[in-house]
Chain A
Amino acid sequence: MKKHKKNRNVAIVGIGQTHHSSHREDVNQPEMIHEAVELALKDAGIGIEDVDALVHGNMELFEMVHQPDLWHVIGTGGYGKACYRVTTGGTTGATIVGVGDNIVASGLHDIVMIIGFEKQQEGHTTGGITNMADPLWARNLQTGALTGATAEKTINEFGADRAKRAAMRLRVTLDKHASLNPHAHRNFGLDYDQIDDLMVNSPQLVGELRLIHMCSQSDGAVAIILACEEKAKKISKKPVWIRDHVTVHREETFNMFGINENQEVTHHNAARKLFGRNGITNPREYFDVFEMYDPSSWWGLDWLREFLQLEGDEHLKMVENDEVSINGSFPLNPSGGVISTNPIGATAALRVAEAALQVRGDAGAHQIPREVKHALASGFGGTFWTVLFMLEKDLDWQEAE
């Protein structure tokens, strides 16, 4: 694997997020974003005047607003600054962190604030997503993350009872995590004795993808401040280093009716590249936490295998043995994940933010009860985009040869 070298180190020095909810009638879009911006600046202990550039992102058309970055300036503090608007579907939140990482690492800017938001209550998400379909050749038909295909695949491979039970166990585990996160949009107070009931009685959306398996539609925003090493060490007592990130996608080749089952999933490809060029041979052992973009419990279950490069039924066992719970050996989404909270343009950035809070030890009630030195965070969206981040507590890693 080719050696990957960064021009200079980049750290997360400030994090702010709103409370996430399906109802934010009290604020307009710039006001909601401003809540996250203020909290991030306060967390970093700097003023907006210290920020050199902004990277702003959300889903195209979800609020039916053209160029939201322009009229959000009232809330973002972007007046007179270098501003970038980025939109890559559900992956947006991760891509904006990636852009921030790149423009700081390159030396273009020293301090950059990334802002992800969505206010889905105002818009029409299906209207936005449906625009993706090719009107002539009917390609790229998308219903967002609503697909029963992974449920069917998992059931075919491991049997209906075991597969359904594992997906629902993961769902309950993440609900328990969400109940510890005061920012989380939804927590239902689920418990493991409800698994049998939910497997049968939760309304079906597509095949065995049931309502309870599926992520929410949320309103919310997150702001993350990134700084170069020199500034980061001055600003923050607990900078969290972005060791590396990778983006993998397959754009228009995704086609629901012609998917190549033997094609490597982008998550697997991204993890293979990232781990390979950083010399990570056993990710399950190396990483102390994984904040995964999990649009549904079926995908969350299946993607454990893809990201961690697992064979056979290892991913099912991790869930069945509670290894993925907050007290387990490989905690997954201690925040509650996307299933509990999904303000889409912010969602993937929240994975990085939550992973960084774990590394800092500042996650509060959903802090993993042991030291977190190495964190993994993923973004997902569109026609299978993957962005994967490695975060580190200490600047002590060796460059892989």
Chain B
Amino acid sequence: MTEENKHCYIKEGKLALPYQYFAGRIGSKFLVSLRDKKKILGVKCEKCGKVFIPPRKTCERCFEDISEKWVELSNEGEVTNFTVVRTDDKHHPRKAPYVLAMIKLGGADTPIAHILDGVDPDSVKIGMKVKAVFADKAVNTMLQIDRFEPVK
């Protein structure tokens, strides 16, 4: 501590920021399908042909209403990118080390982020084939897909 900042006081603060996040009718239909039918749905823009997951009301490029253009996606896909989480934290869903991967499902044009289990973190590769494993209980979030695992 230098002489200049010796008597510079700081008031500590902490904020609680409660909020809700609404899935909306379209997002909710996706979650219900995951939970009740173990089917992963996307929406397709018929103008540009892109299939989006998570689903959305509008194609942001074409500005088309695609909210009713549901398509069923494969439960399998490939890793387009990944990171290895190597630190433990109470908010993390797994004990370190574990893999968070971007996974592009068969039939989709956009990848989703999810947990990739059942593989040594050091042997994960981009392009690796993986499949969804669904949760046994109702979760009603993206963790209705409990995890992805490599296709054996």
Q: Mark A60-71, 1 if CB is under 8 A from B, else 0.
A: 010111000000
Give A243 Cβ to nearest chain B Cβ, in Å.
32
Is the Cβ of B22 less than 8 Å from the Cβ of A28? yes
Task: Report A-chain residues with C-beta under 8 Å of the C-beta of B26.
Answer: 28, 31
Given contacts A31-B26, A136-B11, is CB(A63)–CB(B58) below 8 Å?
Answer: no
Partner of B63, one of A31, A48, A61, A123: A48
Is the Cβ of B22 less than 8 Å from the Cβ of A64? no
Is the Cβ of B17 less than 8 Å from the Cβ of A127? yes
Complex CA distance for A74 and B57, rounded to whole angstroms: 8
> Which range contains the number of A residues in contact with the other chain?
20 to 34
Is the Cβ of A61 less than 8 Å from the Cβ of B17? yes
Is the Cβ of B60 less than 8 Å from the Cβ of A73? yes
Is the Cβ of B22 less than 8 Å from the Cβ of A25? yes
Q: Of residues 66 to 86 in A, which have CB atoms within 8 Å of B's CB atoms? A: 73-75, 77, 79
Is the Cβ of B17 less than 8 Å from the Cβ of A27? no
Is the Cβ of B18 less than 8 Å from the Cβ of A24? no
Is the Cβ of A28 less than 8 Å from the Cβ of B24? yes
Complex CA distance for A41 and B61, rounded to whole angstroms: 16
Complex CA distance for A77 and B19, rounded to whole angstroms: 26
Q: Mark B17-48, 1 if CB is under 8 A from A, else 0.
A: 11111111111000000000000000000000
The closest CB in chain B to the CB of A35 belongs to: B57
Complex CA distance for A27 and B58, rounded to whole angstroms: 12
Is the Cβ of A26 less than 8 Å from the Cβ of B17? no
Give B109 Cβ to nearest chain A Cβ, in Å.
14
Task: Report B-chain residues with C-beta under 8 Å of the C-beta of A73.
Answer: 60
Is the Cβ of A119 less than 8 Å from the Cβ of B22? yes
Complex CA distance for A73 and B63, rounded to whole angstroms: 10
Task: Report A-chain residues with C-beta under 8 Å of the C-beta of B57.
Answer: 27, 30-31, 34, 74-75
Task: Report B-chain residues with C-beta under 8 Å of the C-beta of A75.
Answer: 57-58
B15 at the interface (CB under 8 A from A): yes
Partner of B60, one of A28, A64, A79, A119: A79
Complex CA distance for A123 and B24, rounded to whole angstroms: 15
Is the Cβ of A122 less than 8 Å from the Cβ of B25? no
Complex CA distance for A63 and B18, rounded to whole angstroms: 9
Complex CA distance for A79 and B64, rounded to whole angstroms: 13
A121 at the interface (CB under 8 A from B): yes
B16 at the interface (CB under 8 A from A): yes
Given contacts A30-B56, A48-B63, is CB(A24)–CB(B19) below 8 Å?
Answer: no
Complex CA distance for A26 and B28, rounded to whole angstroms: 9
Complex CA distance for A47 and B61, rounded to whole angstroms: 12
A233 at the interface (CB under 8 A from B): no
B13 at the interface (CB under 8 A from A): yes
Task: Report A-chain residues with C-beta under 8 Å of the C-beta of B63.
Answer: 47-48, 77
The closest CB in chain B to the CB of A78 belongs to: B60
Q: Of residues 131 to 154 in A, which have CB atoms within 8 Å of B's CB atoms? A: 131, 135-136
Partner of B22, one of A24, A74, A77, A135: A24
Task: Report B-chain residues with C-beta under 8 Å of the C-beta of A127.
Answer: 15-18
A124 at the interface (CB under 8 A from B): yes
Is the Cβ of A64 less than 8 Å from the Cβ of B56? no
Task: Report B-chain residues with C-beta under 8 Å of the C-beta of A77.
Answer: 60, 63
Q: Mark A6-42, 1 if CB is under 8 A from B, else 0.
A: 0000000000000000001111111100100000000
Extra A-B contacts (6), CB below 8 Å, given A27-B57, A131-B15: A30-B58, A74-B60, A75-B58, A77-B60, A122-B20, A124-B18
* 21 A-B contacts (beta carbon < 8 Å): A25-B24, A26-B25, A28-B24, A28-B26, A29-B22, A30-B56, A30-B57, A30-B58, A31-B58, A34-B57, A47-B63, A48-B63, A61-B17, A74-B56, A74-B60, A75-B58, A79-B61, A121-B20, A127-B15, A127-B16, A135-B13
